Structure 1
């Protein structure tokens, strides 16, 4: 075989079929393993064989040669791999925070949206590395545990997880301190004199909803107030669900004097339900939201809320990539960034009649 033929073979893109051949299994099995499909049972031995074959062949890396040294970021580029960009402002805020942090170092931010699909993530990673990305930020639109595929193992550049984390903590991760955010919002109501504080939660399977509820309960406990299940109504992050959940809270014989909504969209529905009941915000019922969505500034009265620190998280991710690229100390497995209470006009002191 001549040199040019060898070169063409060496540069050939490794396919899933190549991995299947090396692992001695079907291409479908490789897909199931590498996409981390949970509802199909595959033996641990076969799973390990597929992962090892993919790693040894460099599957998902497009033949990129792995380097031991971490490149510096200055004057280079950073790749963002995001599951969703357009549905909420959080991804844009994180990217903007990263841009602001790296602007003086002339770092270019490259962004790829993947819809959370493993094959899209691998393709995005390959193309970002080919484009010269000297660091990767892997971001989820909602806080959760993730399992990046084998293509993300042994990268030639540092990687940071933003708004997500892995169970083995092999990558530095940054998430919002949701427990303290929920505690902060509830404590603000308590300090205004409220003792019956309702909560409209997001979908209960989501970590943000769980942690904000933990913070709510913690604030009640610290104030010596009892927790009452009747004061908790589940929504689904939408204005309609906030409206319906608030109706349930208002129907209680001893209704709340304040309501903490776990996001601003549900708070908007909460406002409408309160007004449709012939009541006023905050004279009759105070309301606090969460996220600091722009719509909160357009509600009347303007919405008191908790700011999600995605800009700060994006900036932290860039700093962490710089630390890793220069051999700096690794941070704690999961770094939590504090949320901020944004005080406006929808939360007022409890009026004693």
Structure 2
């Protein structure tokens, strides 16, 4: 294999490029940006060093060389809906406190996601990526480039800082709670899209308790509209489940609307639960049993973690899981006598 086709060594920095080229880091910065006076011969030496070291400029070293901070980048699959809004608010609030601007990339409806992410990575100090939004091979490239990187709502990954909320334990507690009501036929509405993502962890937790009594039912998206359409088909069918565990609150709110449309009182004819505890879940009729996760804190923690990685350069990556809480409300019926809420 040609050495130029090999993955970039992890942790190559702008300092090493400067040393290889025999110039200052400020000169490397100007050559990479295409700004300021750089002789052709010097630029050629810099670009040769970049190629030989397989260096990907992340802006972290480039900005440091110029004595200033550029922006942080954050990649979301979608910017609509209260969940993403809360995570983004938490992220931006902390980034602002730290004196960093934020460049946001939403991949929904966009082509050439790989190229868009690579382009964004080349003009920011560090990058936060939500869930499985970015293909795994591109994440591997980003890790290998030495770019400060935080993966949000993502399983632990070697070489990257990862952060997510707890899913498996509260999913098991929720399933056990529904069994305590006497339900025996279940559906999980909003089947997982990607192995190891948040919804998949919820599904695995629920299935670990309910086994073959729970059926996965896909939705087109994690939205009220998609939940409504899928629940209409599910609840209008011959094998109507006694309880529907929804992947998130928006899907659950859509399911409540579908049950109402079909004349099925909740929870008397069908029990329903959600996940996230968005504000609308508390004001639904009936109020929605759900799992509360710290959405805004998730974004805030991601911004702090990315700032530490940028400041520390080669800080050791790790994984952190934030606590969640099972919230029992009226959509799954009265609490069974003698049973704990969690």
TM-score (norm 1): 0.65
Give, in whole Å, the separation in 1 of the partners of 2:231 and 2:259. 11
Corresponding residue number in structure 1 for 2:87: 94
Q: Does residue 1:108 correspond to 2:140, yes or no?
A: no
Q: CA RMSD of the aligned region, Å?
A: 4.1
Corresponding residue number in structure 2 for 1:310: 295
Q: Is the contact between residue 194 and residue 258 of structure 1 (CA under 8 Å) also seen in structure 2? A: no
Q: SS at 1:217's partner residue?
A: helix
From 211, 218, 233, the counterpart of 1:234? 218
Q: Does residue 1:210 correspond to 2:200, yes or no?
A: yes
Runs of 5+ consecutive residues of structure 1 not aligned to the other structure: 23-51, 221-225
Return closer, same or farther for 1:175/1:121 CA change in 2, 3 Å cut-off: same
Return closer, same or farther for 1:121/1:201 CA change in 2, 3 Å cut-off: same
Corresponding residue number in structure 2 for 1:122: 118
From 50, 53, 56, the counterpart of 2:53? 56
Q: Is the contact between residue 292 and residue 306 of structure 1 (CA under 8 Å) also seen in structure 2? A: yes
Give, in whole Å, the separation in 2 of the partners of 1:166 and 1:54. 31
Q: SS at 1:280's partner residue?
A: coil
Q: Could you report, residue by residue, the CA deviation over 1:278-331 in whole angstroms, capped at 9, with x for unpaired residues? A: 331123322111233444345322222223433222222233235443589735
Give, in whole Å, the separation in 2 of the partners of 1:278 and 1:331. 52
Corresponding residue number in structure 1 for 2:11: none
Q: Is the contact between residue 142 and residue 149 of structure 2 (CA under 8 Å) also seen in structure 1? A: no
Q: SS at 1:278's partner residue?
A: coil
Return closer, same or farther for 1:350/1:257 CA change in 2, 3 Å cut-off: farther
Runs of 5+ consecutive residues of structure 2 not aligned to the other structure: 1-26, 28-35, 338-342
Corresponding residue number in structure 1 for 2:4: none
Q: Is the contact between residue 174 and residue 336 of structure 1 (CA under 8 Å) also seen in structure 2? A: yes
Corresponding residue number in structure 2 for 1:36: none
Give, in whole Å, the separation in 2 of the partners of 1:91 and 1:351. 34
Return closer, same or farther for 1:328/1:180 CA change in 2, 3 Å cut-off: farther
Equivalenced residues, count: 289
Corresponding residue number in structure 1 for 2:9: none
Once the 2 structures are TM-superposed, how far is the Cα of residue 204 of structure 1 from its aligned partner? 4.1
Give, in whole Å, the separation in 1 of the partners of 2:273 and 2:134. 21
TM-score (norm 2): 0.66
